Amino acid sequence: MKMLLGCTINAQEHTVLVDPRDTLLELLRERIGLTGSKEGCGNGNCGTCTVLLDGAPVNACLVLALEVAGRDVVTIEGVARAGELHPIQSALVEAGGTQCGFCTPGIVLAAKALLDANAAPSEDDIRHAIAGNLCRCTGYGKIVDAIAIAATRMREG
């Protein structure tokens, strides 16, 4: 039996019919058409489906769509402002922190949650914040560099 769900996604109100079995990831990708959030493992290990739920990073594959009723979701599509990349996105481009790109949306949102809470993270803080985001290309070094660069720039305004 389908149910009506109301929630905010990237600052836009949505009312959609969902199957109780739909995950938040399926809601985003298949019902709303926001395909920036990826499905990697589908069981919470890889983090490429990371979105912000009321500001906190979660694995969209481990959340039922109906659980987000009345709540605020931010996906990778909601991070850039007026066509301008977020400092984390720019830094990932500059530092070579993205290669195939499949993990990048999740990395950006995990890093955004970190920097929103901690403006001056240590390298350990950064590595811990993205420990739930697997990258099979970069070896992580350049991703960690990029997040540190973004933190510095955001602090300096």
Partner 1 sequence: MRNFIYVAPPSIEDAIGELRRGEARPLAGGTDLLPQLREGRRNADRIVDLKRIAELSAIRPLPDGGVAIGAAASATNVARHDVIAARYPAIAASARLLGSVQVQNRASLGGNVCNAAPSADVVPALICHQAYAHIAGASGGRRTPLEKLFAGPGRTVLQADEMLTALALAPVRQRSATTYLRFTPRREMDIAIAGVAVRIDLAEDRSIALARIALASVGPTPLRAMSAERLLLGKPLDRDLSLAAAGAAANDDARPISDTRASADYRRCLVEVLTRRALAACARTLNIALDLT
Given 45, 118, 122, 152, the residue binding partner 1 (CB under 8 A): 45
- Residue among 34 and 110 whose Cβ is closer to partner 1: 110
Q: Is 111 in the site for partner 1 (CB under 8 A)?
A: no
Contact residue for partner 1 among 3, 4, 100, 120 (CB under 8 A): 3
Strand partners, 29: none
Polymer length in residues for the chain: 157
Task: For residue 14, give the 3-state DSSP assignment.
Answer: strand
Distance CA 112, CA 57 (A): 9
Residue 62 touching partner 1 (CB under 8 A):
yes
- CA distances in angstroms from 90 to 71, 79, 87, 94, 105, listed in the order given: 28, 12, 5, 6, 13
Instruction: State the residues that interact with partner 1 by CB under 8 A.
Output: 1, 3, 20-21, 23, 42-45, 47, 50, 53, 56-59, 61-64, 66-67, 69, 110, 113, 128-129, 131-133
